[in-house]
Amino acid sequence: MSQQDNDDLVPTQTENYKVSEKKAVAELQELDANDESLNKWKASLGLGQAEVRFPDDPRTVIVQALVLESGDHVIRMDVSDANAIEELSKRTVVIKEGADYTFKIEFVVQREVVSGLKFLQRLKRSLVTVERTEDMCGSFGPKYETQEIRFPAAVAPSGMMARGTYNIKSRFVDDDGVIHLEWNWKMDIRKEW
């Protein structure tokens, strides 16, 4: 992987922002116990839930799927484990030029709070980077249930020059610089589905 490839997927840093010290869930629960607004925030993170959904999986964030939705077309890309990611890298996702679409990520957070989760994505055509996106997802506490993030709607490029195959690299990273998942996949923009 070239240095340029790495630079494309490094989250931007906000000037003077300092990542807070990582604390255990039990510590967070006891922190400022009399502060009503802080208690509401802690409840929204699900800090009271101790059940771990995948006890044999040591990961904190388990990304299960990237879902592309466009009208009646729903394309679910399984990224739950190395085998699924390898299968995804072998196929090409097709989208119609000019189609409105949204992305959704489904994931599970277990054991600890993850702060400043970001989704980064780079689209290349041949060797040229066509687009780089960075979406702030937020902070998430451990929950047994699958959580999801839906990104704003976008429009697929259109026209003869836009049609073709794009190589995409996606990354899910947090404020501590932990890369929870990184994967490669392909998208083909065509005249028709």
- The CA distance from 156 to 192, in Å, is 12
Nearest to 152 by CA among 165, 142, 137: 137
Q: Are 143 and 32 in contact (CB under 8 A)?
A: no
CATH superfamily placement of domain 53-190: Coagulation Factor XIII, subunit A, domain 1 (2.70.50.30)
Q: What is the pTM (predicted TM-score) of this model? A: 0.77
Q: Where are the domains of the chain?
A: 53-190
Q: What is the Cα–Cα distance from 150 to 132, expressed in whole angstroms?
A: 18
Check whether 26 has a pLDDT greater than 80. Answer: no
The first and second tokens of residue 106, run together, are 């489904």
Pairing of the two strands 92-96 and 179-190: parallel
In what helix (H) or strand (E) does residue 187 lie, and over which residues does it extend? strand 179-190
pLDDT tens column, 119-171: 999 999 988 999 999 999 999 989 899 999 999 999 999 999 999 999 999 99
Share of the chain above pLDDT 90, in %: 65
Q: Which three-class secondary structure state does DSSP give residue 103?
A: strand
